[in-house]
Structure 1
Amino acid sequence: MNGIRKFLAHAVRLEAESARRFDELAEHMATHGNVEVEAVFRQFADFSRLHLEDAMARAGFRHVRDLPRDGYEWPHGEPPEAAPWWGVDGLMDVEGALKLALESEQGGLDFYRSVAAASADPLVKAMAAEFAAEEAEHVATLHEMLARNE
């Protein structure tokens, strides 16, 4: 990915989709009365919204807009932080929710690292590395939360 606008379009979409998916998961848990797991998903939706705000702020004066559906370069066809629905049910426990969030955050981390490693654009490399560092903090936090939950 060798253009800052394209990178920022990816970052904005990735974080927006992550927040949307975690909100959906939280609503699903609320429907089933699983308040503890709902809280975990809401927390990670909020983290994603913070990253979204950051990506939009970094775009600054640049005109960043959605790319055509086939214009995104996702590793598996969808934004890597969009938490999967498989294994999610109303009886999910906090550990399961944390593991799902970890998978999501690790996907974002891997994506940003791969962009930083592959891009020839120094600005994209630097910004992707910064985003990766932020995702690495979330991954570390999730590992700590999982260790405390055991």
Structure 2
Amino acid sequence: MDSIRKFLAHAVRLEAEAARRFDELAEHMATHGNAAVESVFRQFADFSRLHLQTAMSRAGFRYIEDLPRDGYEWPHGESPEAAPWWGVDGLMDVEAALRLALESEQGGLDFYRSVALGSADPRVQAMAQEFAAEEAEHVARLQELLAEASGRT
């Protein structure tokens, strides 16, 4: 990816999709009365919204609708931070929710790292590395929370 605008369009869409999916998962847990897991998903929706604000301010986009509808280059055809729905049910525990969030954040980290390594544009490389560093912090925090939840502190 050798265009800063294209990179930022991807970052905006990635973070918007992650926030939307985590909000959906939180609502699903709220419907089932699973407040502990709902809280985990809401926290990661908030993290995604913070990244979204950063990407949008860097890009100068005011509204997500201003972005192109096609032209995205996702590794598996879907935004890498969109947490999957498989395995999600009302009886899910905090550890399972953290594993799902970790999978999502790791997908974002891998995406940003691959862009940083694959781009010929030094601006794209630098910004992708910066976004990867933020994702790495989330991955590390999730790994800590997962260790605590599973009693491996």
Pairwise same-fold verdict (TM > 0.5): yes
1:32 & 1:121 partners in 2: Cα distance? 47
Cα offsets for 1:78-136 (capped at 9, x unmatched): 10000000000000000000000000000000000000000000000000000000000
Task: Tell me which stretches of 4 or more aligned residues in structure 1 moved more than 2 Å.
Answer: none
Q: Shift of the alpha carbon at 1:146?
A: 0.6
Q: Following the alignment from structure 2 to structure 1, what is the Cα–Cα distance between the partners of residues 69 and 20?
A: 19
> What do residues 40-75 of structure 1 show as CA deviations (whole Å, max 9, x unaligned)?
0000000000000010111148xx942232x00000
Please give the TM-score of this superposition, normalised by the length of structure 2.
0.94
- Alpha-carbon RMSD across the aligned residues, in angstroms, is 1.6
Q: How many residues align?
A: 149
Percent identity over the alignment? 80
Instruction: Tell me the equivalent position of 1:68.
Output: 69
In the other structure, the counterpart of 1:105 is 105
Mapping 1:1-150, distance limit 5 Å: 1-60=1-60, 65-69=66-70, 71-150=71-150
What TM-score, normalized by structure 1, do the two folds share? 0.96
The separation in 2 between residues aligned to 1:104 and 1:68, in whole angstroms, is 22
Structure 2 residue runs without a partner (length 5+): none
Structure 1 gaps of 5+ residues are none
SS at match of 2:115: helix
